[in-house]
């Protein structure tokens, strides 16, 4: 079976967390919106009142006749199917808990440049973004990344992975969010490497994985840009 | 076994979604921070570097020797244990997907009065809150509530519940978020009853449940206030 991933064609966005999991699993999938007529199919699914389990927003994943929405929920599903999370219930929920914390960080990273409304341009909320980014950089980002450093340090199986001794979707997602923060805030994240050695080592390990390395070098990996969640506006980077 | 719920003692907040599930299940629990010395125990757990699976923030739930964080994750756990979600995998994930969408709405409701930083007072971001609340009321709130109305309309088991034909934690959470929005934005939500009849009927059904009715009438239910997620500032209510 080939999965169908529905996400906006031009950005990494939240879809990228799903793409990384599919790529790490070596699972066959189509990135629907990047095929001819695909974005129209995505919009048609969002508007289809006949769907019993409609997604609220992209990304969503078609797996056979199932349609699964919400990034963390898709990863919960894929983690079970493709061995990207432990099977044991407590460790499985722990991976999911970490994913939900990453999702909170992603939301806050987005709102650092869009604190007023996603429907407005950045330029229409630049002043407010400046204020929010100051707090995000000074308080929130260090709190989150420091938390993941602490999780790695406390992992009984060692600091190589967030959950147990093997790669999980939470590792992939932490790599993605750190890469995004480094793109968006090169100055503010310059201290990362020194203060969060375990997080940085994890990111390097993810990048070195054969499938992920091949993916990142491919045309399937979209570049970061000023359209996605992580945006580089120099005036927001302290 | 008696659960220990760790959440701030004086507000409903995100902990309320867990309280409602525990109450609907008739599960024995202690609301730790509301007991003598409890808030100190909560803070001690947050700061304990020896915990292998540390929570990032309240709420978290102690179940035997497990410590489970992230509201939606706690509900996933309780749903399985207390029959507050379907057993079948696809319906179980669907309930969780809805919960994650409710969590997004909760985040946005919070940021309508705190668009710049949770660490600042409302008074220090009042102007920005006014702008964000306008967008929240005009676009986001109707989009979310309209979505849940559509989910109820499309439920093959009928519009009495979000998932299948029985009460789930998603129903409880939708009630809580609607109650919060009505408290925070009495004017803006005045049209709810007419435009979202199924959502409103669901909320009435939740409130009429014996255990939830008893809980809401008890001292265990904290009132809405200007400290929680849902806050009534008349200047933000259109």
Establish if B203 belongs to a structural domain. yes
Average pLDDT over residues A174-194: 94
pLDDT, tens only, A95-110: 999 999 999 999 999 9
Query: Is A141 found in the same domain as A217?
Result: yes
Single out the residue in A81, A97, A129 at which a domain terminates.
A81
**Tokens representing residue B219 in the block:** 């001292």
Query: What does the pLDDT read at residue A80?
Result: 97
**Cα–Cα distance for residue pair A129/B77, rounded to 1 Å:** 37
**Cα–Cα distance for residue pair A9/B60, rounded to 1 Å:** 37
Query: Is A120 found in the same domain as A42?
Result: no
In a mutagenesis test of the B interface, which of A91, A93, A146, A151 is the best target, namely the one with the most B β-carbons within 10 Å?
Answer: A93
- Residues in B closer than 8 angstroms to A58, CB to CB, are none
- Report the number of distinct structural domains present in chain A: 2
B191: Cβ–Cβ under 8 A, 6 or more apart, which residues? none
Range of the domain at A218: 89-236
Query: Is A77 found in the same domain as A27?
Result: yes
Query: Is A38 found in the same domain as A121?
Result: no
Query: Is A115 found in the same domain as A75?
Result: no
Single out the residue in A48, A81, A114 at which a domain terminates.
A81
Looking up residue A127, the CATH number of its domain turns out to be 1.20.1050.10
Interface residues from chain A to B (CB-CB < 8 Å)? 49-56, 66, 68-70, 72-73, 76-77, 90, 93-94, 96-97, 100-101, 104, 107, 111, 115-117, 119-120, 125, 128, 131-132, 135, 139, 144, 147, 150-151, 153-156
Query: What stretches of B35-150 adopt beta strand conformation (E)?
Result: 60-63, 66-69
**Cα–Cα distance for residue pair B209/B26, rounded to 1 Å:** 12
B130: Cβ–Cβ under 8 A, 6 or more apart, which residues? B235, B236
Residue A136 three-state SS: helix
B44: Cβ–Cβ under 8 A, 6 or more apart, which residues? none
Single out the residue in A31, A64, A81 at which a domain terminates.
A81
Query: Is A173 found in the same domain as A58?
Result: no
Query: What stretches of chain A adopt beta strand conformation (E)?
Result: 3-6, 29-31, 60-63, 66-69
pLDDT, tens only, B89-101: 999 999 999 999 9
Looking up residue A71, the CATH number of its domain turns out to be 3.40.30.10
Query: What does the pLDDT read at residue B1?
Result: 86
Query: Is A171 found in the same domain as A143?
Result: yes
Query: Is A189 found in the same domain as A146?
Result: yes
Query: Is A222 found in the same domain as A105?
Result: yes
Least CA distance to A120: which residue of chain B?
B135
Query: Is A231 found in the same domain as A140?
Result: yes
Residue A49: band (very low, low, confident or very high) from pLDDT cuts 50, 70, 90: very high
Establish if B115 belongs to a structural domain. yes
**Cα–Cα distance for residue pair B163/B120, rounded to 1 Å:** 38
Establish if B180 belongs to a structural domain. yes
User: At how many degrees (to 10) do helices B126-135 and A126-135 cross?
Assistant: 110
Residues of chain B with pLDDT under 50: none
Query: What does the pLDDT read at residue A60?
Result: 98
Least CA distance to A157: which residue of chain B?
B52
Work out whether strand B3-6 and strand B29-31 pair parallel, antiparallel, or are unpaired.
parallel
Query: Is A198 found in the same domain as A138?
Result: yes
> Are the beta carbons of B69 and A97 separated by less than 8 Å?
yes
Least CA distance to A126: which residue of chain B?
B128
Q: How far is CA A181 from the centre of its chain?
A: 11
Report the percentage of chain B scoring pLDDT > 70: 100
Cis peptide before B59 (omega within 30 of 0): yes
Query: What does the pLDDT read at residue B61?
Result: 98
Establish if B28 belongs to a structural domain. no
Residue A194: band (very low, low, confident or very high) from pLDDT cuts 50, 70, 90: confident
- Residues in B closer than 8 angstroms to A50, CB to CB, are 154
Query: Is A124 found in the same domain as A77?
Result: no
């Amino acid at each position: 079976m080939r999965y169908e991933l529905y996400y906006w064609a031009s950005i990494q966005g939240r879809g990228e967390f799903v793409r990384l999991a599919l790529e790490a699993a070596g699972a066959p999938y189509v990135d629907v919106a990047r095929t001819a007529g695909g974005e129209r199919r995505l919009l048609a699914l969002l508007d289809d009142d006949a769907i019993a389990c409609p997604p609220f927003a992209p990304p969503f994943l078609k797996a056979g006749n199932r349609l699964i929405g919400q990034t963390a929920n898709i990863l919960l599903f894929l983690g079970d199917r493709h061995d990207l999370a432990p099977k044991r219930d407590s460790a499985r929920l722990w991976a999911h808990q970490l994913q939900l914390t990453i999702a909170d960080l992603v939301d806050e990273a987005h709102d650092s440049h869009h604190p007023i409304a996603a429907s407005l341009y950045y330029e229409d909320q630049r002043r407010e973004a400046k204020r929010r980014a100051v707090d995000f950089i000074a308080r929130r980002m260090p709190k989150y990344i420091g938390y993941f450093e602490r999780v790695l340090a406390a992992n009984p199986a060692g600091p190589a992975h967030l959950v147990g001794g093997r790669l999980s979707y939470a590792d992939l997602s932490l790599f993605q969010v750190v890469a995004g923060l480094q793109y968006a805030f090169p100055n503010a994240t310059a201290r990362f490497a020194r203060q969060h050695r375990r997080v940085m080592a994890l990111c390097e390990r993810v990048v070195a994985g054969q499938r992920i390395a091949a993916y990142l070098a491919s045309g399937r990996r979209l570049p970061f840009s000023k359209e996605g969640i992580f945006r580089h506006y120099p005036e927001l980077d302290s």
